[in-house]
């Protein structure tokens, strides 16, 4: 596989050029195919394929704060796999060291019927299996160490489209609708380490979507967000959608560096949420329906949204405004099945990577100039994407 970079891209970034003698940046893209059960790992600097990993079914990908691994949730394949990223950044206080090795598939996978939601918090990973209504929790460190895994398991009582979030010594788990478990959950329970329910049900009708930002968690409900704080037993309060038109969020992202949440609110709107503000919600109209959106972990005030007209847009979350746009692909209509192959985006250092499944390539957009600076061809229909990397001193 060969990359087709433009010369300005290489000149404008520091992907391979050390800032100091031994300081380097390294970023990798992990891309799941829409149809084929596989994940391809690419080196962002060269566009070279580092490895392709077979899976049990097409996957949704997640990366955790550690950058140590990428996780492939294979809903139809009834398992979740971990792929060691091969990028290890060691915090030494005043600097970080970086070790770079080959990406590798971890032998141990966690099996269960129809895994959907993946949540990492505080080094623990909670996997919710919709067809079982069960949560399995494992330490990320234990998973990446290899060997046999013995997850802690909790049963919510009925199969449903649920979610679980590790919270210190506790776990927050969705509660199925008792009248119709196929409907969305009605709220959450807090479980202690033994699985016993602590306190009362926290009502959250039509629960769908959660995210964490700093030491705060938000869970989207029909009437607002459940906001979770506290370092012991989680403290949970409802933040109503005050001042917003009829609607709700069903997908949330958590800000990095700035404590905020970004959610959808209807097909052609986003909403920024600052639970500590007097007016916590700010609605943002989009020119067309959104396809995908992502927060920028390096430049905290920015997020990005890809819209069905083929444009990537830069959102200033402090102003609540779209500040830059650039056309990247042909239009991808949101009409039709929700699971049709459409672009997904990921932020990799100074670059936004956009998959283009219809053209079998990944577009690279330099954030500083907000222009497309290169493409990487990828076999098949590149779809879900995550970026893993960082900078450090190489000894």
Q: Mean pLDDT over residues 61-88, rounded?
A: 96
Q: Report the percentage of the chain scoring pLDDT > 90.
A: 87
Q: What is the mean pLDDT of residues 270-281?
A: 96
Is there a domain that residue 224 lies in?
yes
Per-residue model confidence as pLDDT tens digits over 238-255: 999 999 999 999 999 999
Residue 8 domain flag: no
pLDDT attached to residue 93: 67
d(CA 77, CA 65): 25
User: What is the pLDDT, as a whole number, of residue 21?
Assistant: 52
Predicted confidence band at 7 (pLDDT cuts at 50, 70, 90)?
very low
Q: How many CB atoms lie within 10 A of CB 196?
A: 9
Give the model's pLDDT for residue 91. 74
Dihedral sign, Cα of residue 384, residue 261, residue 225, residue 139: positive
Give the separation between CA 120 and CA 153, rounded to whole angstroms. Answer: 15
Predicted confidence at residue 89, as pLDDT, reads 83
Entry pTM? 0.92
**What average pLDDT does range 45-70 have in this prediction?**
96
| SS3 of residue 140 by DSSP | helix
pLDDT of residue 10: 33
Distance CA 9, CA 171 (A): 45
Backbone angles phi, psi at 220, to 5 degrees: -85, 135
CA distances from 164 to 191, 210, 233, 365 (A): 10, 10, 15, 35
Residue 13 has pLDDT above 50, yes or no: no
Average pLDDT, the chain: 93
Decide if 123 is inside a domain: yes
pLDDT at 208: 97
Positions of E strands within 122-268 = 124-129, 134-139, 152-155, 164-167, 170-175, 187-191, 197-203, 210-213, 216-220, 224-229, 235-240, 252-254, 261-264
Q: Is the pLDDT of residue 71 over 70?
A: yes
Would you call 57 helix, strand, or coil by DSSP? coil
Residue 382 lies in a domain: yes
**Which residues are paired to 352 by β-bridges?**
347, 365
User: Residue 17 falls within a domain, yes or no?
Assistant: no
- Judged against a pLDDT cut of 60, whether residue 2 lies above it is answered with no
Residue 46 falls inside a structural domain: yes
Q: Does 3 fall in a domain?
A: no
Q: How confident is the model at residue 9 (pLDDT cuts 50, 70, 90)?
A: very low
Structurally, the chain folds into a number of domains equal to: 1
**Domain span holding position 357:** 24-394
Measure the CA–CA gap between 134 and 343, rounded to whole angstroms.
31
107-153 per-position pLDDT tens digit = 999 999 999 999 999 999 999 999 999 999 999 999 999 888 999 99
At 95-111, the pLDDT tens digits run: 678 889 999 999 999 99
Which residue would you say has higher pLDDT here, 115 or 390?
A: 115
pLDDT beyond 50 at 18? no
Residue 39, in any domain of the structure: yes
Q: What is the pLDDT of residues 336-384, one digit of tens each?
A: 998 899 999 999 999 999 999 999 999 999 999 999 999 999 999 999 9
Are 108 and 147 in contact, with CB atoms under 8 Å apart?
yes
Check which CATH number belongs to the domain holding 84 and give it. 2.130.10.10
CB-CB neighbours of 310 under 10 Å: 18
Sign of dihedral through CA atoms 235, 119, 341, 4? positive
């Amino acid at each position: 596989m060969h990359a087709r970079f433009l010369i300005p891209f290489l000149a404008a970034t520091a992907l391979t050029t050390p800032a100091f003698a031994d300081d380097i940046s390294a970023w990798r893209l992990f891309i799941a195919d829409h149809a084929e059960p596989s994940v391809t790992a690419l080196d962002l600097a060269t566009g070279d394929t580092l490895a392709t990993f077979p899976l049990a079914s097409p996957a949704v990908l997640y990366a955790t704060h550690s950058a140590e691994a990428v996780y492939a949730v294979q809903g139809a394949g009834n398992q979740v796999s971990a792929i060691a990223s091969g990028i290890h950044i060691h915090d030494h206080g005043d600097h970080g060291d970086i070790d770079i090795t080959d990406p590798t598939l971890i032998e141990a996978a966690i099996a269960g019927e129809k895994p959907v939601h993946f949540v990492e918090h505080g080094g623990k990973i909670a996997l919710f299996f919709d067809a079982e209504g069960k949560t399995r929790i494992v330490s990320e460190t234990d998973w990446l160490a290899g060997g046999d895994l013995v997850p802690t398991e909790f049963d919510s009582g009925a199969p449903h489209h649920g979610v679980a979030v590790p919270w210190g010594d506790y776990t927050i788990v969705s509660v199925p609708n008792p009248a119709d478990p196929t409907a969305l959950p009605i709220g959450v329970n807090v479980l202690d380490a033994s699985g016993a329910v602590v306190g009362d049900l926290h009502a959250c009708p039509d629960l769908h979507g959660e995210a964490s930002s700093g030491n705060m968690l938000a869970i989207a409900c029909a009437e607002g967000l459940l906001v979770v704080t506290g370092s012991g037993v989680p403290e949970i309060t409802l933040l109503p959608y005050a001042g917003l038109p009829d609607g709700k969020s069903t997908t949330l992202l958590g800000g990095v560096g700035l404590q905020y949440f970004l959610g959808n609110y209807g097909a052609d709107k986003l909403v920024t949420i600052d639970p500590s503000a007097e007016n916590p919600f700010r609605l943002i109209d989009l020119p067309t329906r959104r396809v995908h959106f992502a927060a920028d972990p390096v430049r905290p005030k920015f997020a990005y949204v890809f819209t069905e007209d083929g444009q990537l847009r830069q959102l200033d979350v402090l102003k609540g405004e779209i500040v830059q746009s650039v056309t990247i692909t042909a239009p991808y209509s949101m009409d039709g099945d929700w699971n049709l192959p459409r672009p997904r985006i990921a932020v990799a250092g100074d670059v936004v990577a956009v998959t283009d499944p219809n053209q079998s390539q990944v577009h690279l957009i330099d954030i500083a100039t907000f222009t497309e600076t290169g493409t990487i061809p990828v076999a098949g229909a590149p779809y879900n994407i995550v970026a893993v990397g960082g900078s450090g001193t190489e000894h």
